[in-house]
Amino acid sequence: MTSYTLAKKVIAPVKPERGVFPLDHQGECKELMLKYMLCLSRNESKPSKCQSESKEYFQCRMDRNLMKKHEWEDLGYFKEQQKKITD
Amino acid sequence: MNLLISHHIVRPFLLKNFLHIHVLPSSSSSVILKRFSSSFNNNNNKNKNDFEKAFKRFERDEKNRHLNLAFYLSSGAILMLGLTYASVPLYKMFCEATGFDGIIKKTGDEDTVSENVRQLSQRLDKSHPSIRIHFSSTPSSLLPWTFEPEQTDIIIQPGETALAFYRAKNESNRPIIGIATYNVQPSQAAFYFNKIQCFCFEEQRLEPDEEIDMPVFFYIDPDFVRDPSLQGIRDISLSYTFFESKGTEQLALMGGDPTKINLKLKPSEALPYAHRQNDKVKIVPV
């Protein structure tokens, strides 16, 4: 972001596309996060193999109003892709 | 200026060939008259009235020549000055359009974001190489938080959405509002790094001893594989840094309670590395 290479240019940060995740102060989705981490550690850190766990996490967030409700396609989970992964 | 230079260069040649004409460094009336008469004779107009009018016009133009030159040059200088002021927003626009040197691509509104993510499934190709994303965090000495990534790296393909987590804990005994920024290396890859949602650039408030999981949801644009400057790049590094939000220390101390406005940080708490003073051994009175 701030790369002082040629000149002191301070680059204004670009916000993420859908904004900020609200903070999970009560830790309501913490168990699902830990499940996802376990899955990653078992699958050589490949999130493509842990799609069900990450979907559960997003579902938890959406249910508790910690995230805007989206269709699964909007979050990048496609049925064809799931079939590809399970092959 | 140019006139002076040209005179000095031209003078030796003129002296040799045209000894009867004296070249003066500044325009005088005789020179004006000579130059005018030569140009006037070329027009073949012998009428006396026209001669006078034309001469007056010519004389004015000649006398104004230096002034005109000065005007042109000063306007050129002002133009350059204006360009230097305009270069800052122009450069920003250029960087956002082309993603030059690590600037993340400018994003549109919610509908375009959803559309982009939906189209990812068509652009996804199994033959694309897997890329390893490394996560790191920079601790800030002034902010008494522990801030670590939950995973050191993940392996994804361009076009896949990925979820990653960071964990932050407020180690101090006062509520703190922090802001996170991030950086993507290599800088050319930052253009293809699309962050759908994260926890950066907004104030995040943590109560004392509160620990929180912060997710980052992103994908890498499939055009990444077609960029010639990124051939062979298989590792991307994402690093986050948390800072304390300036000017909100008082607000955080108040905790939303307007009666607590006279609370102040103790000097020992405001020092850098104040949060590490807890490691000192405490002497218990016997």
CB contact under 8 A, A74 and B121: no
Q: B170 and B87, same structural domain?
A: no
CB contact under 8 A, A13 and B102: no
What total number of domains does chain B contain? Answer: 2
| End residue of a domain, out of B72, B92, B112 | B92
* Amino acid B70: pLDDT: 93
C-alpha distances (whole Å) from B196 to each of A57, A58, A74, B179, B219 are: 16, 13, 10, 18, 8
* Amino acid A86: pLDDT: 42
pLDDT per residue as tens digits for the range A13-55: 556 667 677 777 777 888 888 999 999 889 888 888 888 888 8
Q: B164 and B57, same structural domain?
A: no
CA distance B242 to B240: 7
* Amino acid A1: pLDDT: 44
Tell me if B124 is assigned to some domain.
no
Q: B154 and B67, same structural domain?
A: no
Q: B145 and B71, same structural domain?
A: no
Q: Which domain holds residue B174?
A: 129-254
Minimum-distance CB partner of A19 among B95, B164, B197:
B197
Host H or E run for residue B234: none
Q: B245 and B150, same structural domain?
A: yes
* Amino acid A8: pLDDT: 40
Q: B167 and B82, same structural domain?
A: no
Tell me if B233 is assigned to some domain.
yes
Tell me if B6 is assigned to some domain.
no
C-alpha distances (whole Å) from B232 to each of A24, B161, B185, B223, B229 are: 38, 21, 14, 14, 9
Tell me if B29 is assigned to some domain.
no
Minimum-distance CB partner of B194 among A17, A45, A74:
A17
CA distance B74 to B68: 10
* Amino acid B182: pLDDT: 86
Q: What torsion do the CA atoms of B26, B30, B34, B37 make, to the nearest 10 degrees?
A: 120
Q: B244 and B134, same structural domain?
A: yes
Closest CA in chain A for residue B204: A23
Closest chain A C-alpha to B132 CA, distance in angstroms: 9
Tell me if B78 is assigned to some domain.
yes
Q: Is the ipTM of this complex over 0.90?
A: no
CA distance B195 to B200: 10
Q: B227 and B160, same structural domain?
A: yes
pLDDT < 70 stretches in chain B? 1-32, 36, 39-46, 99-112, 124-126, 246-286
Q: B180 and B72, same structural domain?
A: no
* Mutation target among B154, B188, B220 for the A interface, most CBs of A within 10 A: B154
Read off the pLDDT band of A87 (50, 70, 90): very low
Tell me if B45 is assigned to some domain.
no
Which residues in chain A touch residue B204, judged by CB atoms under 8 angstroms apart? 23
Tell me if B277 is assigned to some domain.
no
Q: B138 and B238, same structural domain?
A: yes
* Amino acid B80: pLDDT: 95
Tell me if B74 is assigned to some domain.
yes
Alpha helices in B204-285 (DSSP H): 249-254, 267-270
* Amino acid A3: pLDDT: 45
Q: B190 and B73, same structural domain?
A: no
Closest chain A C-alpha to B218 CA, distance in angstroms: 9
**Residue whose C-alpha is closest to residue A15's, from B201, B147, B77, B29:** B201
CATH of the domain at B150: 2.60.370.10
Number of residue pairs across A and B with CB atoms under 8 Å? 134
